[in-house]
Amino acid sequence: MYWLRTGNPLDILPWLIAALMWFAGGWLLATHAFNLERRERPMVGLVLGLVGYNFFANLLGHWLPADWAFVSSGVCTLMLGLAFAWKGKRPLLDWHDLASTWTQFVVFLLITIAFLLISRGVALFDEPKNLTIISRMATGDIPPHFYLNSDFYFRYHYGFQLFAASLMRIGGLLPWSAFDLAKSIVFALTLLLTSLLAQRHSNKPWAGPIAAFVIAFASGTRYLLLLVPQIKLALLDSTIHMLGTSQNGVPFSQALIQGWSLDGGPPTPIMFAYVNGIFPPLTMQQAGSNILSSAIIILLLLAFPRIARRLAWIPLGLVLALWALAWESSYGLFAIGGAVALVLWAIAQARASVTGEKKLVVFFKLLVLHPGFLALAVSVPFVLLQGGTLTETLRQAVFGTSGIGVEGAVEAGGFSLRWPPAVFSAHLGALNIFSPGQLFVAICELGVVILLTPWITAWAWRRFKTGDWAMGAMIIGAWVGLVVPLFLSYQAERDISRFSAYSMFVWTVFLTMMVVDSSGGVKPALQKISAVALGLMVFGGIVVTGMIMTGVSQPQLGLGINSQDSRILSDTWNRLPGEGAVIDRIPWRASVLTGLPTHSSVSGLERLGAWEALIANPSVKTLSENGYRYIYMDDIWWNAMPPESRADLSRTCVVVVSEHDKPSHNSIRRMLDIKNCMH
């Protein structure tokens, strides 16, 4: 059972109605708030609507039941679009927009299906966490509590997962199909927006498809290290310390030519030389949040230079707020870059002013009336209060309490000085830039585009000086994103690589636009060199994607989840009385299946002693005393527990809520309710 939670295909209709409303709202915004070309309006409208929908779903989800929140969010997005269309100079909607862009919708559908097939074949990267918060938010737990302990809020970027939760709650999908479909929709929209951005920069018909192809597969170029004699690479084995799943028991020089086995990965291991710990291809970013962040980056590049209404900063501010909820590191870098760009622009304009007013007055007027300033300003209150990473960080600063982060620390953690300066890779660790060998590895890990950043910066800066504030904000933020990890480390150290990933994505997008630029602003020789660099960046991503595609013929429901679990979910999800938590030997699994909370951990890595004792020697009395009402039993746990525990859990007062066994495989799945035993 992969697709439907309810078994009735018509149950997706409420979600489709909500989607139609948020698409119409986004299309209205694209038509009336921005001066977009006809070919741009439908797809930009789709992304504006989707982002607005997620923003309102999170906001309303704080107070409304889940059904009302997810339906009302579509209405709110539509109302926002109608507000901008009111007294507008254009027709409410120009239906020729759809007629002239029908091929875009066909391509959108094809890309969505293709990426969905890829996503079905793998269960990569944080599946337990993502599936759990999708299931919990679909029941109404917005903002979500920590997925392994509902006593704490979750210090996590859950903006993308809200979209998947809407598909589960009002679309009737299962959490894994909702997750995969949500990723696929956003992936397709990212590529289509990239194509539209390229067509804006070029009059060549091939520019759009080529740009979309590059952004889909661009990655770091670690594989170039294969050109170095292994005896030379072996000299670095003692200084490069691999992290996490990259630690496969062999030194760095040998790991490059071996497969990288992953839980939930494809049947064919991905060769380690082609993956990347800083800038993986978009096709491999299966967690979803970073794909939505990429879509927002392209959206801002399309929308900000084409503002048509004075109040267009309002929807753009909501976009920025949702960005912070989906991928706070990129939002932070954009905000820093945007603030610096605003100050530099206002200074230049104030110096050139001939109004007779004091320069300082002119400076502040220009600054506070700029739509970029207003969009950032309107985003900040939401960013601090809407939930997620930044809200929980603020909660700790003000109240001394915080939610649990991804690595599990109840404390919010922070930055510390890194010396010597190093490029940090989530796979290879800190690569010392003062060591020639490690610096070379770092350049390959980042990707050869890093060598062209002076020319990329000059190109983007010229456009910023002509009024493209978003491009200036991104190019400044990209440099900040490169420099910060050089000198600072973070408590959850692997996360610091997200700053460098933002930089590489922005530079890759800009370099792609330079290659297709037909204005004459880029020298042909530089375009040819840039095309070669992009080709090298794309090659590794194509290889990785090919290996991931080996899983297409073997769909996975979710990491460690089988068809029995899926049937239990259909019987129990959001149907069990809410008093009491659920316990399972796999800490997160039963929470995905039921939508109920659990209490197994105060970290993502270490289990509570009380939970471990309950798993080792469960009894009705001790489970109830620890707040558990429901028990999810499988054959492994049943066979491992003492005979006394099995006898206690077999009492007549224990109610079997749902049972899906496979006697031929000696496999059992049962949801038990122990409430009656406590009377």
Of 165, 135, 188, 170, the residue nearest 17 (C-alpha)? 170
- Exposed e or buried b per residue across 567-581, where buried means at least 16 C-beta atoms within 10 angstroms of its C-beta: bbbbebbbebeeebb
pLDDT surpasses 50 at 128:
yes
CA atoms within 13 A on the CB side of 224: 18
pLDDT surpasses 80 at 117:
yes
CA atoms within 13 A on the CB side of 11: 17
Query: Which residues face 67 on adjacent strands?
Result: none
Going by the DSSP 8-state scheme, the letter that residue 448 receives in this structure is G
For the ranges 38-42, 91-95, 102-106, 369-373, the lowest mean pLDDT is seen at 91-95
pLDDT surpasses 70 at 367:
yes
Write out 174-221 in H/E/C secondary structure. CHHHHHHHHHHHHHHHHHHHHHHHHHHHCCCCCHHHHHHHHHHHCCCC
Of 566, 642, 485, 635, the residue nearest 7 (C-alpha)? 566
| 275-326 tens-digit pLDDT | 999 999 999 988 889 999 999 999 999 999 999 988 999 999 999 999 999 9
What mean pLDDT comes out for the span 527-555? Answer: 95
The residues near 98 (Cβ < 8 Å, ≥ 6 apart) are 42, 105
What mean pLDDT comes out for the span 506-532? Answer: 95
CA distance to 55, 267, 434, 545, per residue, from 377 (Å) = 16, 48, 40, 40
The residues near 222 (Cβ < 8 Å, ≥ 6 apart) are 256, 273, 274, 275, 276, 444, 445, 540
Query: Which residues face 423 on adjacent strands?
Result: 431
CA distance to 121, 186, 267, 546, per residue, from 549 (Å) = 7, 19, 9, 5
Query: Which residues face 415 on adjacent strands?
Result: 490
pLDDT surpasses 90 at 260:
no
Q: Per-residue confidence at 575, pLDDT binned at 50, 70, 90?
A: very high
pLDDT at 409: 44
Calculate helix-pair angle for 313-326, 371-385, nearest 10 degrees: 40
pLDDT at 245: 58
- Quickly list DSSP for 212-277: HHHHHH----GGGGGGS-HHHHGGGTTT----GGG--SS-HHHHTTSEE--TT--SSPEETTT--S
pLDDT surpasses 60 at 246:
no
Looking at the chain, the whole-number percentage of residues with pLDDT higher than 90 is 77
Q: Are 176 and 561 in contact (CB under 8 A)?
A: yes
Q: Per-residue confidence at 494, pLDDT binned at 50, 70, 90?
A: confident
Q: What integer best gives the mean pLDDT of the chain?
A: 92
pLDDT at 353: 76
Question: Going by DSSP bridges, is the β-strand pair 581-584/628-634 parallel, antiparallel, or unpaired?
Answer: parallel
Backbone CA torsion sign across 353, 358, 360, 364 = negative
| 543-557 tens-digit pLDDT | 999 999 999 988 888
Tokens at residue 93, please? 């909607």
| Three-class SS state of 431 | strand
pLDDT at 171: 96
pLDDT surpasses 80 at 406:
no
Rounded-to-integer distance, Cα 404 and Cα 638, Å = 31
Calculate helix-pair angle for 41-61, 175-201, nearest 10 degrees: 140
Q: Per-residue confidence at 408, pLDDT binned at 50, 70, 90?
A: very low
User: Residue 352, Cβ neighbours under 10 Å: how many?
Assistant: 8
Largest CA distance in the chain: 90
Q: What are phi and psi of 373, to 5 degrees?
A: -60, -45
Question: Going by DSSP bridges, is the β-strand pair 145-146/149-155 parallel, antiparallel, or unpaired?
Answer: antiparallel
For the chain, domain boundaries = 9-202, 216-278+418-551, 563-678
pLDDT surpasses 70 at 404:
no
The residues near 108 (Cβ < 8 Å, ≥ 6 apart) are 43, 188, 189, 192
Q: Are 273 and 222 in contact (CB under 8 A)?
A: yes
CA atoms within 13 A on the CB side of 523: 6
Q: Are 507 and 456 in contact (CB under 8 A)?
A: yes
User: Residue 307, Cβ neighbours under 10 Å: how many?
Assistant: 18
Rounded-to-integer distance, Cα 238 and Cα 11, Å = 57
pLDDT at 410: 39
